[in-house]
């Protein structure tokens, strides 16, 4: 269906957020954090949100409960998994397979899948979803996104500064 025809009805939308990918990109590129409320508003716009899922990797020494509670209040479903430490000292903690399985499972109920990630490993998923009739949008930081992922997507949107938390400058009371 051409993009113009899709715009004539309310799209059923699913959003799938690779939190770790976005956290490290925001930190490395902007020394900031994503405002997930603004991100959700920008992505949804005038479409019908069916499901928004945030995939979080939990480190046992870090309390992320206030972050995940805030995401829940905004309307995100939270999926967590523990960071696994391997015997060789390396760590494993990504959600690539979980995101792929969830998007494939939800695709028949969605018109548009939005992947919030810059990870090029998702290119085959994007191609498969498109072959089954879904629009696939990618939202991420352009500088940390695989060009193959941008090219594979139906639409690419770069995360703008307006979707980041601004660091507060100290204010002095002037009497």
Tell me how many domains the chain contains: 1
Decide if 171 is inside a domain: no
- Long-range contacts (CB closer than 8 Å, 24 or more residues apart) made by 154-158: 154/3, 154/112, 154/130, 157/42, 157/43
Domain of residue 105: give its range: 10-82+92-163
pTM: 0.86
Position 175 in a domain: no
**H-type alpha helices, 31-166:** 36-44, 65-74, 96-106, 123-131, 147-152
Asked whether residue 62 is domain-assigned, the answer is yes
Residue 113's nearest CA partner among 14, 43, 19, 1 is 14
- Specify if 33 maps to a domain: yes
Q: Both tokens of residue 4?
A: 């113009």
Question: What is the DSSP code string of 13-81?
Answer: EEEEEEHHHHHHHHHHHHSS-B-HHHHHHHHHTTSEEEEEEEEEEEPTTS--HHHHHHHHHHT-EEEEE
pLDDT digits (tens, 9 = 90+) for 31-80: 999 999 999 999 999 999 999 999 999 888 888 999 999 999 999 999 99
Dihedral over Cα of 146, 148, 149, 150: its sign: positive
> 166 is written with which tokens?
């601004």
pLDDT of residue 172: 46
28 secondary structure, DSSP code: H
97 pLDDT above the threshold of 80 = yes
- Give the model's confidence band at 167: pLDDT under 50 very low, under 70 low, under 90 confident, else very high: low
Angle at the Cα of 97 from the Cα atoms of 92 and 102, rounded to 5 degrees: 135
Asked whether residue 4 is domain-assigned, the answer is no
Residues of the chain above pLDDT 70, percent: 90
pLDDT of residue 59: 84
Integer Cα distance of 31 and 84 in angstroms: 26
CATH of residue 69: 3.40.50.1010
Residue 61 falls within a domain, yes or no?
A: yes
| CA quadruple 97, 64, 84, 20: dihedral sign | positive
Asked if the structure places residue 174 within a domain, the reply is no
Spatial neighbors of 76 by CB under 8 A, at least 6 apart, are 17, 36, 40, 52, 53, 54
Answer whether residue 128 is part of any domain.
yes
Distance in angstroms (rounded) separating the CA atoms of residues 129 and 134: 5
């Amino acid at each position: 269906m051409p993009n113009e025809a899709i715009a004539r009805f309310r799209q059923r939308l699913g959003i799938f957020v690779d939190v770790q990918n976005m956290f490290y990109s925001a930190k490395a590129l902007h020394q900031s954090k994503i405002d997930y409320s603004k991100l959700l508003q920008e992505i949804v716009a005038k479409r019908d949100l069916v499901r928004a899922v945030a995939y979080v990797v939990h480190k046992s020494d870090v309390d992320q409960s206030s972050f995940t509670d805030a995401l829940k209040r905004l309307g995100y479903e939270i999926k967590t998994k523990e960071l696994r430490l391997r015997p060789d000292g390396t760590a494993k903690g990504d959600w690539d397979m979980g995101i792929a399985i969830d998007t494939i499972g939800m695709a028949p109920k969605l018109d548009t899948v939005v992947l919030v990630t810059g990870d090029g490993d998702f290119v085959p998923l994007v191609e498969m979803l498109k072959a089954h009739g879904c629009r696939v949008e990618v939202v991420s930081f352009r500088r940390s996104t695989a060009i193959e992922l941008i090219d594979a997507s139906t639409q690419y949107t770069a995360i703008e500064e307006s979707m980041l938390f601004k660091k507060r400058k100290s204010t002095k009371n002037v009497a």
